[in-house]
Amino acid sequence: MDAVAGLMKGFAVALTPINLMWCLIGTTLGTAIGVLPGLGPALTIALLLPITFKVDPTAAFILFAGIYYGAMYGGSTTSILLNTPGESATIVTALEGNKMARKGRAGAALATAAIGSFVAGTIGTLGLAFLAPLVADMALQFGPADYFALMVLAFVTVAAVLGSSAVRGLTALLFGIWLGMIGVDLQTGQARFTFGVPELLDGINVIIVAVGLFAVGETLYVASRYSGGNDEVIPLKGSLWMTREEWSRSWKPWLRGTAFGFPIGAMPAGGAEIPTFLSYYTEKKLSKHPEEFGHGAIEGVAGPEAANNASAAGVLVPMLTLGLPTSATAAIMLSAFQSYGINPGPLLFQTQPELVWGLIASLFIGNVMLLVLNLPMIALWVKMLMIPAPLLYAGILVFATIGTYGITQSTTDLMLLYAVGGIGYLMRRYDFPTAPVIIGMILGPLAEQNLRQAMTISAGDWTVFFTRPLSATLLVLAAIAIVGPKAYDFWARTQLKPVPGGDA
Amino acid sequence: MASGSDGLARRRTAVGELAIAVGVLVLAAVIYWQVQVMPVSPLYAKVGPTLVPSLAALAMTGLGLALLLSAVRGGWQSAEELEAVPDRLALGWVLAGLLINLLLIDVAGFTLASTLLFICVARGFGSRKIIRDASIGAAFALVAYFGFAKTLGINIGAGVVEHTIEGLLPLSRKS
């Protein structure tokens, strides 16, 4: 089906009153959790996963997508007014946005962030609508070996390239893969790593791991670092209407940010951080006012904000067409698909056109809702920033308990939740990234399945991964991604003798 | 950046990091041991359920050794993180709240256990207003119980409090 016809059909689905309501709930909730420090979209969607037993898949995914987009908008508000990035992708926004707010230009910063997010989100969603069917068509020819190679590439980039250390990222990833293997092996019926505990035969629920890492672990970490004082919330000053000059300084960064964000997000590697940094440095280079950077340059808010929203749209391309999640949030959404018995992949556009196109159409609608929620109604969200930390984190832990205990009413699950929380605390303390755990846990079993299928087809011949051109290329890319940075470091160190003071 | 050669202050073995590295190696050993005891039908001898776990154990051993090396060379934490002293009292309150919740949720019901959890966590974050925290916590738990849990159709532990309120409210009886 071509994109235009698909979108027409999608809007017919998304514009029904009930789906509009789900979209509104999702975007509102998403903005709220984006604004609140300590809560993120992955955690929220994990807590809401039980809803998949109650509502039809289209409604659930419209809700989840609203949360996903909404958190991006809300996160920028926190970065600008509190200087505590709500989401990792909004770190760069805090650099210039908070400085602008301190100079009494919070209104303009919030406006360029929200409008830039809208522009980028809309263009990114258009990109998704037109690119995804093409990728899906191409992916129809992928064999198990190609899928496996693709997943290896995603693993490597998510764990090794995006974080601060390849070793720690890969350790987190392998921990997740191991968690994903616990339970009965679906191909042979063999129980693995259950240690004789019958509760473990069904595997560990991803809700427990996500909530344990992102809610319990995070709360423990914040508590251990909490010195009693609240961060200062900068009062909302300055008109929300941007001046002519601010418009003219914003629109190009929006478009350039989108041009970074969408393609990078759409690659099997994913990640929202890299495009925001690229956008920031590009704007700094191109700006007519480079001296303002570091002191509140509007370009430094407009570009990165656009980049992170465009990449959010991009991440949905591999997620919907290949079943390949490249962020923790996308991984949890994939597990929601699995709970409906739907396998995202090239066939999704044929088997579930209403779901896919309804979801994409609702992203356009959600973007409009988010623009309204985040500009005229911004004062409401600023009030949420005033919630005292003791109440906020106490509430997060109570919700974490409901979300986990509610699934099975088993205290075993609660113990598991708190144990994962303890591991999450150690990971935060010792600088291990947590997102690869979730990605490994969801994607690991799929990678294993494809590996074993490929090996079965080839009758146990390992060369199958290197004789297929696509899988060979992807594996070489993965190897470069792991070895490349180290090799470059080594080369740079031996070739270019260190310049005194030149090495940062 | 933290390659060990950039400062004299961090040549000594870092205890925390060492423990983490040993933990990773122990996990690798456990995986390897489980793979050994897994009965595998000869049908799946080549690509059976042990293939990926074996690879995982191998990779984890390598990563654990790399972490160990880094720990012995002084660890990988940033100077900022090294200087920060964990607030043990705050952690203690939060952990106490979790433990109380775990022990009481079956016996006393969700609302009561959650309220106590709420008070303890708030205390850990420096709040001294116990009465305010208790009332907000109780209200929050009740709203969560009747709103979130009932609409999502998940049944979380009902205790005395929940049954009393449910008895008073005719609307929630139909479920």
The tens digit of pLDDT for each residue in B70-118 reads: 999 888 887 777 777 788 899 999 999 999 999 998 888 888 999 999 9
Beta bridge partners of A183: A192
Report B:54-93 residues touching A (Cβ under 8 A). 56, 59-60, 63-64, 66-67, 70, 76-78, 81, 84, 86-88, 90-91, 93
State how far residue A244 is from chain B, nearest Cα, in angstroms.
42
CB contacts, 8 Å: A53 with chain B: 153
C-alpha radius of gyration, chain A, whole number: 22
> Is the per-residue pLDDT at A87 higher than 90?
no
Q: Do B59 and A174 form a contact (C-beta atoms < 8 A)? A: yes
pLDDT at A229: 54
Partners of residue A184 on adjacent β-strands = A191
User: Which residue has 């998704």 as its token pair?
Assistant: A128
User: What are A398-427's pLDDT values in tens digits?
Assistant: 989 888 887 778 888 899 999 999 999 999
Q: What is the pLDDT of residue A282?
A: 92
How does DSSP assign A272-340, residue by residue? Answer: SHHHHHHHHHHHHHH-S-GGGTTS--THHHHHHHHHHHHHHHHHHHHHHHH----SHHHHHHHHHHHHT
Q: Determine, for residues A452 and B51 on separate chains, whether the beta-carbon distance falls below 8 Å.
A: yes
Residues A223/B94, Cβ–Cβ less than 8 Å: yes
pLDDT recorded at residue B79 = 74
Q: What is the SS3 assignment for A371? A: helix
How many Å is the Cα radius of gyration of chain B? 25
List of chain A residues whose C-beta atoms are within 8 Å of the C-beta of residue B145: 402
pLDDT at position A489 is: 75
Residue A364: C-alpha distances to residues A4, A23, A120, A267 (Å): 14, 10, 11, 21
Contact: A223, B70; criterion CB under 8 Å: no
**Is residue B166 predicted with pLDDT exceeding 80?**
no
Helix (H), strand (E) at residue A57? helix A57-82
Rounded CA separation A269/A161 (Å) = 9
> Is any Cβ of chain A less than 8 angstroms from the Cβ of B105?
yes
**A319: nearest Cα among A307, A305, A337:** A337
pLDDT at A487: 77
- Would you state the pLDDT for residue A61? 94
Looking at the DSSP bridge assignments, the partners of residue A191 are A184
Q: For residues A47 and A49, give the distance between their C-alpha atoms in angstroms, rounded to a whole number.
A: 6
The DSSP code sequence of B58-121 is: HHHHHHHHHHHHHHHTT-S--HHHHHPPP-HHHHHHHHHHHHHHHHHHHHH-HHHHHHHHHHHH
Mean of pLDDT values over A373-399: 90
Q: Is the pLDDT of residue A257 over 90?
A: yes
Least confident among A228-232, A366-370, B22-26: A228-232
User: Three-class SS of residue A362?
Assistant: helix
B117 interface with A at CB cutoff 8 Å: yes
CB contact under 8 A, A51 and B70: no
Q: How confident is the model at residue A372 (pLDDT cuts 50, 70, 90)?
A: very high
Distance CA B121, CA B123 (A): 5
Chain A interface, best mutation among B114, B116, B175, by max A CB count within 10 A: B114
Evaluate if residue A91 carries a pLDDT over 60.
yes
* Partner A contacted by B127 (CB < 8 A): yes
| Number of other residues whose CB lies within 10 A of the CB of residue A372 | 12
Question: Is A426 part of the contact surface with chain B (CB cutoff 8 Å)?
Answer: yes
Q: State whether residue A185 sits within 8 Å of chain B by CB.
A: yes
The Cα A293–Cα A299 span in angstroms is 9
Compute, in degrees rounded to 10, the torsion defined by CA atoms A495, A497, A503, B4: 90
Closest partner residue to A451 (CB to CB) among B52, B81, B157 is: B52
Burial label for A230, CB within 10 Å (0-12, 13-18, 19+), is middle
Q: Which residues of A touch B119 (CB under 8 A)?
A: 394
Q: The tokens of B20 are what?
A: 């983490």
Which of B41, B84, B126 lies nearest to residue A390, judging by beta carbons? B126
CB contact (8 A) between residue A225 and residue B84? yes
Q: How confident is the model at residue B1 (pLDDT cuts 50, 70, 90)?
A: very low
CB contact under 8 A, A402 and B144: yes
B98 to A193: CB separation less than 8 angstroms, yes or no: no
- Please provide the average confidence, as pLDDT, over all residues in chain A: 88
Judged against a pLDDT cut of 60, whether residue B6 lies above it is answered with no
Rounded distance between C-alpha atoms, residue B174 and residue A212, angstroms: 34
For chain B, first and last CA: distance in Å?
A: 60
Residues of B with Cβ-Cβ distance to A185 under 8 angstroms = 49
CB B136 within 8 A of CB A390: no
Nearest to A402 among B48, B66, B148 (CB): B148
Task: Report d(CA B101, CA A414) in Å as an integer.
Answer: 9
Rounded Cα distance between A74 and A82, Å, is: 12
Q: Say yes or no to pLDDT of A209 above 60.
A: yes
Substitution target from B155, B156, B162, B175 for chain A, most A beta carbons within 10 A: B156
Q: Residue with structure tokens 């019958």?
A: A198
Nearest alpha carbon to residue A273 among A300, A228, A304, A316: A304
Nearest residue of B to residue A49 by CA position? B152
Residue B97, chain A, CB below 8 Å: the answer is yes
Among chain A residues, CA nearest to B135: A391
**DSSP per-residue codes, A65-128:** HHHHHHHHHHHHHHHHHHSS-SSGGGHHHHHHHHHHHHTT-HHHHHHHHHHHHHHHHHHHHHHH
With CA atoms as reference, the chain A residue closest to B154 would be A406
**Structure-token pair, residue A426:** 């150690």
Confidence of residue A188 (pLDDT cuts 50, 70, 90): confident
The label of the residue with tokens 């050794």 reads: B65
pLDDT of residue A230: 55
Mutation pick from B52, B143, B146 vs chain A, by most beta carbons of A within 10 Å, is B52
B16-26 mean pLDDT: 94
Q: What is the pLDDT of residues A469-481, one digit of tens each?
A: 999 999 999 988 8
Residues 6+ apart with CB under 8 A from A227: B87
CB B136, CB A387: distance < 8 Å: no
**Interchain contact B161–A (C-beta under 8 A):** no
Best interface-test mutation with A: which of B118, B140, B146 has the largest number of A CBs within 10 A? Answer: B118
**pLDDT tens digits for A272-281?**
788 888 999 9
Q: How many CB pairs under 8 A join A and B?
A: 191
B60 or A296, which is more confident: B60
Residue A304: predicted pLDDT: 93
Using pLDDT thresholds of 50, 70 and 90, give the confidence band for residue B158: low
Is pLDDT above 80 for A504? no
Measured between beta carbons, the chain B residues lying within 8 angstroms of A448 are: 51-52
Residue A448: the pLDDT is 94
On the question of pLDDT at B44 being above 70, the answer is no
Q: Which residue of B has its CA nearest to A195?
A: B34
The DSSP 8-state label assigned to residue A53 in this structure reads G
Pick from A16, A9, A18, A20: which is nearest to A366 by CA? A20
- The percentage of chain A sitting over the pLDDT mark of 90, rounded to a whole number, equals 54
pLDDT of B124 reads 92
Residue range A154-169: mean pLDDT, rounded: 85
Calculate mean pLDDT across residues A195-206: 88
* Interchain contact B159–A (C-beta under 8 A): no
Q: A20-75: per-residue pLDDT in tens?
A: 999 999 999 999 999 988 788 999 999 888 888 888 999 999 999 999 999 989 98
> A401, A425, A457: which to substitute to probe chain B, counting the most B Cβ within 10 Å?
A401
Structure token digits, residue A256: 């350039």
Q: Phi and psi for A184 in degrees, rounded to 5? A: -80, 130
